[in-house]
Structure 1
Amino acid sequence: MKLIFLLNLLWVLCSTARALQCVTCTDKTCASTVPLTCGSETMCITARILGTQSGATATQIYKACASSSLCPATGSSSFSVNMGLQSAVADAVCCNTDNCNSQTLSIPPTRTPNSLQCIVCDPTTFQCNTPITCKGEENNCFTAFVTDGTKRFPAMGCVSPNACAAASNLGGLPFMHNFRIVRGPECCTTSLCNVPTTAPQTTPTAQSTTTAEIAGGLQCLTCTDEACLSTVSVTCCSEIMCITAVMLATSSGATNQQIYKGCASSSLCPRTGSHTYSINLGFQSAIASAECCNTDNCNSQTLSCGSNHRIF
């Protein structure tokens, strides 16, 4: 994943004029939007998310640049995760032209039950022995271990196949921000195929996420122009890290610098702190110095090419 990111980064930095622009929300209700210059992403996404927690529901509009994990192709798609008392379903449209994600989708319709049953965990005791009936496109059962801050606990339930595939690459369940996957997900296709063979090891102080956390997410600053002269705060999707980076690309002796701020997946930010990414193809090279953090709008600083973040 990091190599793919760096190859895409190299292409973006050496072809800045061709970088995709997508509309992004500046608040959780998406009452206002701004154009955003994408980094390595080659897709825009607009999505409407419906999150449920113990019978209470919340919705969110999400517009942003999208990785290939969320948007492997243009067109419509639906992501769904159901852990019993907690669930999230998102209808999304992916596109690949400038600001093509300006439309706002309607609230996802109610999904009808299908024939698949999966095991879920009790959010209080974390005993994983309760079967539920899946809905809509949830054609897989899943098992994973996740973290919520410093707490680690099991997560099981129903999932759509595309959400399972995306979770493996994103390091988190799509549109369920607070859960970072530390193992899994393991997905299977037959009823009750995720019955645990041994009792999961859990942390007694672990707490379940809330509806607001399902429908909301981490807030990170992102640049609204290529020079990053202005920034806005955006709501992340499944990412639980913010990143600020300064990147240099060299092609045939010419050097191009770009500042990048945004939400980051676990493949880019496996932990908080400083990271360096580098690739050299001989006639072209790129190197990026980055800082990762996990609190709202923590990526406000702009790194330089000197001091502790020296690149060349």
Structure 2
Amino acid sequence: MKLLIRLTLLSAVCAAVGALLCKHCTDPNDPECTLVEDIVCPWGKMCMTASVIVESPEHSIMRIYKDCVGRSLCASPGQRTLSSSVGDEYSLADVKCCNSPKCNDQTVPFPEASEHMLNRRFCPGCDSSDPTCTATVECRGDEDTCFTAEVLKLGEVSTVYGCGSDNVCGATQKLESLPFLEKLGTVSETPTCTDAPTAQLRRCLQCDDPTDATCAASSEVDCDANVDKCFTATYADGRIYRGCGRPSLCPAEGDSLLSVDIGSSSELAGAQCCRGDGCNSATLTAPVQGSPNGILCHICIPGTSICNLLVPCQGDETRCFSTAGTVEGTSTPVLGCATEAVCGAPGSLESVLLSNTQLTKPLSCCSGTRCNDPNRAADTTTTTAAPPTSTEGPGFFPDSGDFGDFGDFGGDQSAVLSQQMLLLVQQVLLYLQQLQSYLLLCPADQQLLLEPLLLLCQQLLLFLQLLLQQLAAW
């Protein structure tokens, strides 16, 4: 008898030693888990805390979950993601498992939106209200598993199908319901899991004839594997662009205004990114450029590394930018004004706005007049020569330091003078290019009168530029 008592006490002591105290939400109807209590976890189990997002057509809930769980849900300490999709119901949880006393007292951050984007994998996806199950559900995030489960709800057993993360079947066995989708019913048997099919390619509309500005005919094309959105844009002059929305062009769904001005050229387009095969069929309204907004940004003379000229930004162009690219085989810096949307979607530069430029350097944006000055960090010298006065033209301003110290060029006085004159000629050419765009706003009779004069000036300046280049080379 004494031996039996001793064995009983020893067993109780061993159980107490192997037990683990964990935090447990006392009210299952409280999504914030405001009240918690300490519970004893049996040997071999762990503490768990989870931050859960549950979405359906009726609601979107953020919920905190704390409990003691078995190895089917927490095979080892650490953090993991758990998700499941059934029809219109979806849940995603960031789960942390630990094995020290009350270690699940803290709350893990909620999942980011990027963690549950649609991933182009498809599984049968029906809830208990659809016994025939002819529908499919697109998986999200890391979901790569199709599951089938028998659920009991209101005394009736039915089959549900959906997507889940690779640990969904083990979690369902522990929770006795699909992870954090208790409203679908109680799972009566261990669900069956299989690998989801390979991700399908997104299909987007693309203009059949790239030279047709109206995009009168377009066809669906397969996009790259990393593309899940489609893109369309309408330029200020009515041209239309359609294609695949790769991540650098479409970081998010929705409408945006894309506009850049690099002095020698400018472009403005209203754009839209959407998710869905062939969803980029809409023809957007052509945008209208706003007035100068007071911000000045540095630009470069085309084909050179001279980037101490300024251009006035217009409308929503509130950022200055700098990058580098290859234009017709020549590497050159690219600076100018841009809208916030361009800075967030750098792929729009070479795809939509500067189609003749292939970027070779990451896009860098900044706020404030002249903030993209490429010489700001290195400019430690003081110029002694007085710069010539320049008249501000429409859309183009030379920087006050353009005609600085002659000694910067080196060589004799004639070579220096040639360099300065060449720079001036190039600046005037840019000015005439800007003036031509403003000429389009004039009445037709004035255009007929002024356009030949502008062309003559350009021809003379180009001839002078060639002479100066030869003189500088000598």
Normalized against structure 1, the TM-score is what?
A: 0.53
Query: Retained in 2: the 8 A contact 1:12–1:40?
Result: no
Query: Retained in 2: the 8 A contact 1:143–1:184?
Result: no
Per the alignment, residue 23 of structure 2 pairs with: 23
- Which of the numbers 191, 195, 202 marks the counterpart of 1:185? 191
Unaligned runs of 5+ in 2: 1-9, 199-474
How far 1:128 moved relative to its partner?
A: 0.6
Query: Retained in 2: the 8 A contact 1:12–1:39?
Result: no
- Which of the numbers 159, 162, 168 marks the counterpart of 1:157? 162
- Which of the numbers 49, 54, 61 marks the counterpart of 1:46? 49
- Which of the numbers 35, 45, 53 marks the counterpart of 1:32? 35
- The CA distance in 2 between the partners of 1:74 and 1:160, in whole Å, is 18
Which structure carries more helix by proportion? Answer: 2
Alignment of 1:106-121 (within 5 A): 106-110=109-113, 111-121=116-126
- The CA distance in 2 between the partners of 1:26 and 1:87, in whole Å, is 24
Shift in alpha-carbon separation, 1:37–1:122, aligned structure 2, 3 A: closer
Task: Tell me: higher relative CO, structure 1 or 2? Use CA pairs within 8 A at least 6 residues apart.
Answer: 1
Matched, 1:60 2:40: no
- The CA distance in 2 between the partners of 1:11 and 1:174, in whole Å, is 35
Offset from partner CA, 1:216-238 (integer Å, 9 cap, x none): xxxxxxxxxxxxxxxxxxxxxxx
Q: Partner letter of residue 23 of structure 2? A: V
- The CA distance in 2 between the partners of 1:171 and 1:63, in whole Å, is 16
Q: Partner letter of residue 71 of structure 1? A: C
How far 1:184 moved relative to its partner?
A: 4.6
SS at match of 2:79: strand
SS at match of 1:164: helix
- Between structure 1 and structure 2, the one with the greater Rg is 2
How far 1:166 moved relative to its partner?
A: 2.6
Shift in alpha-carbon separation, 1:133–1:19, aligned structure 2, 3 A: same
- The CA distance in 2 between the partners of 1:119 and 1:187, in whole Å, is 12
Unaligned runs of 5+ in 1: 1-9, 193-312
Shift in alpha-carbon separation, 1:168–1:104, aligned structure 2, 3 A: closer
Alignment of 1:221-232 (within 5 A): none
Query: Retained in 2: the 8 A contact 1:41–1:66?
Result: no
How many residues in Structure 1 have an aligned counterpart in Structure 2? 183
Q: Partner letter of residue 188 of structure 1? A: T
SS at match of 1:161: coil
SS at match of 2:167: helix
Offset from partner CA, 1:145-193 (integer Å, 9 cap, x none): 211131211201101110123324554322223422234522111339x
Query: Retained in 2: the 8 A contact 1:12–1:18?
Result: no
Per the alignment, residue 202 of structure 1 pairs with: none
Shift in alpha-carbon separation, 1:116–1:64, aligned structure 2, 3 A: same
Which structure carries more strand by proportion? Answer: 1
- Which of the numbers 115, 134, 139 marks the counterpart of 2:139? 134
Shift in alpha-carbon separation, 1:107–1:160, aligned structure 2, 3 A: same
Alignment of 1:245-264 (within 5 A): none
- The CA distance in 2 between the partners of 1:26 and 1:137, in whole Å, is 31
Q: Partner letter of residue 98 of structure 1? A: P
Query: Retained in 2: the 8 A contact 1:26–1:33?
Result: yes
SS at match of 1:64: strand
Shift in alpha-carbon separation, 1:100–1:127, aligned structure 2, 3 A: same
SS at match of 1:101: helix
- The CA distance in 2 between the partners of 1:24 and 1:126, in whole Å, is 36
Alignment of 1:202-217 (within 5 A): none
Shift in alpha-carbon separation, 1:131–1:42, aligned structure 2, 3 A: closer
Per the alignment, residue 293 of structure 1 pairs with: none
- The CA distance in 1 between the partners of 2:13 and 2:41, in whole Å, is 11
- The CA distance in 1 between the partners of 2:136 and 2:67, in whole Å, is 35
CA RMSD of aligned residues (A): 2.4
- The CA distance in 2 between the partners of 1:67 and 1:12, in whole Å, is 21
How far 1:49 moved relative to its partner?
A: 1.3
- The CA distance in 1 between the partners of 2:127 and 2:171, in whole Å, is 25
Q: Partner letter of residue 120 of structure 1? A: G
Query: Retained in 1: the 8 A contact 2:127–2:159?
Result: no
Shift in alpha-carbon separation, 1:22–1:187, aligned structure 2, 3 A: same
Alignment of 1:99-110 (within 5 A): 99-110=102-113
Offset from partner CA, 1:20-59 (integer Å, 9 cap, x none): 1112223322123232222345311010111122252112
- The CA distance in 2 between the partners of 1:72 and 1:122, in whole Å, is 29
Identity over the aligned pairs, expressed in percent?
A: 32
How far 1:123 moved relative to its partner?
A: 5.5
Normalized against structure 2, the TM-score is what?
A: 0.36
